[in-house]
Structure 1
Amino acid sequence: MTIAVVWLEDDGLWCVSDTRISRRGQGGGVQIVTDAGAKIYPLNVECRLLTVERELYYGRRYGMVFAGMTAVATQTFATLSGMCQALQGASRQDIPSLRDVATLLSKLVELYVRDFRASTTLADPGVIEILLFGMCPVSRSYEIWRVSDQIVEGSLHVAIDQQPARTGDVVAIGSQVSRFQEILAELKQKTENTFRLPKIAVGQMADASRGDVGGAVSIGICNQFGFQTYWSLGLTPHGQGARLMFGVDLDDIGWVGPVVISGGGMA
Structure 2
Amino acid sequence: MAGKTAFIGVGVMGETILAGLIRAGRPASDFIVGVRRPERGAELAEKYGVTVLANREAAAQADTVVLGTKPQDLAAVLQEIAPAMRAGQLLVSLAAGITTSFIETHVPGGVAVVRVMPNTPALLDQGMHALSAGSRCDEAHLVEAEALLGATGKVVRIAEKLQNAATAVSGSGPAYIFYVVEAMIDAGVMLGLPRPLATELAVQTLYGSATMLRDLGTHPTILREQVTSPGGTTAAALRYLEDHKVKAAFLSAMEACRDRAQELAAGS
Instruction: Give the shorter-chain TM-score range.
Output: under 0.3
Normalising to structure 1: TM-score of the pair? 0.26
Question: 1 or 2 for the larger relative contact order (CA 8 Å, sep ≥6)?
Answer: 1
Q: Which structure is higher in strand share?
A: 1
Q: Which structure is higher in helix share?
A: 2
Normalising to structure 2: TM-score of the pair? 0.26
Larger Rg: 2
